[in-house]
């Protein structure tokens, strides 16, 4: 009986070690994919866009305001604190372990091999090089369409509020 328990425990530990080795191998491939596809650079661009939006919002609120040197210093300090906060919240160092876990769980080892083969190919590298600009242009297209639809959206919201809150002033 002890021998069966010992044998079962040994088989279970071998299975666990094998599964861990598979995850380790997959994780290494995910990290290689991140490097080849330059996901860290894309993440940095997204973070910079978020920071630009924060700065843009701040500048809109300050439009027409002449800042004293002290106020400019305070604004610069705010920008640095905001950038640090954004970096610590959505910087690559923060996101990468969670992203890696997602990829390890989503793809089999063979699929990761195939993905790596594609991204190592000339076509895959062309995709890596062109994607940031395509993403920027795609975002601009979507923002343009959203801006064009904004008057209709505002009218819908105004009509809804008028209907949902009869007698309220606007």
pLDDT band (50, 70, 90) for residue 67: confident
Question: Is residue 93 located within the same domain as residue 148?
Answer: no
Q: Are 42 and 91 in contact (CB under 8 A)?
A: no
**Of 2-11, 30-39, 160-169, which gets the smallest average pLDDT?**
2-11
Q: Domain total for the chain? A: 2
Same domain as 105, residue 34: yes
* Choice between 120 and 132, residue whose per-residue pLDDT is larger: 120
Domain assignment present for 8: no
Residue reference for tokens 């919201």: 157
- Band (pLDDT 50/70/90 cuts) for residue 170 is low
Residue 99 lies in a domain: yes
pTM above 0.85, yes or no: no
End of a domain among 86, 101, 120?
Answer: 120
Task: Give, as one character, the DSSP assignment of residue 38.
Answer: T
pLDDT grade for 5, boundaries at 50, 70 and 90: low
Pairwise CA distance, residues 163 & 154, whole Å? 14
Return left, alpha or beta for 68; rule: phi > 0 is left, psi -120 to 50 is alpha, else beta. beta
Give domain status of residue 16, yes or no: no
- What is the rounded distance in angstroms from the CA atom of residue 36 to the CA atom of residue 123? 13
In a domain, 148, yes or no: yes
- Whether residue 33 is contained in a domain is answered as yes
Dig out the tokens for 52 from the structure: 């630009």
Q: Where are the extended beta strands (E) located within the chain?
A: none
Whether residues 108 and 43 fall in one domain: yes
Give mean pLDDT, residues 115-135. 94
Q: Give the domain extent around 153.
A: 130-164
Residues 149 and 83 in one domain: no
Same domain, 88 and 56: yes
Q: Which two tokens stand for residue 24?
A: 């380790």
Q: Say whether both 136 and 76 belong to one domain.
A: no
Name which of 19-23, 54-58, 73-77, 157-161 the model is least confident about.
Answer: 19-23
Checking if the pLDDT of 57 tops 80, the result is no
Residues 40, 90: one domain?
Answer: yes
Q: What pLDDT is attached to residue 46?
A: 80
pLDDT at 21: 54
């Amino acid at each position: 009986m002890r021998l069966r328990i010992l044998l079962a425990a040994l088989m279970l530990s071998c299975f666990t070690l094998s599964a861990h080795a598979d995850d380790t191998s997959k994780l290494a491939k995910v990290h290689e994919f991140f490097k080849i596809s330059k996901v860290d650079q894309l993440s940095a661009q997204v973070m910079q866009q978020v920071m630009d939006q924060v700065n843009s919002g701040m500048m809109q609120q300050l439009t027409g305001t002449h800042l004293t040197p002290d106020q400019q210093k305070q604004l610069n300090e705010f920008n640095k604190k905001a950038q640090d906060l954004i970096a610590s919240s959505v910087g690559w160092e923060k996101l990468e372990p969670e992203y890696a876990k997602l990829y390890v769980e989503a793809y089999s080892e063979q699929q990761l091999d195939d993905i790596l083969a594609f991204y190592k190919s000339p076509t895959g590298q062309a995709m890596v090089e062109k994607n940031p600009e395509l993403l920027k242009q795609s975002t601009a297209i979507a923002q343009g369409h959203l801006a064009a639809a904004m008057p209709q959206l505002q009218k819908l919201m105004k009509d809804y509020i008028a209907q949902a809150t009869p007698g309220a002033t606007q």
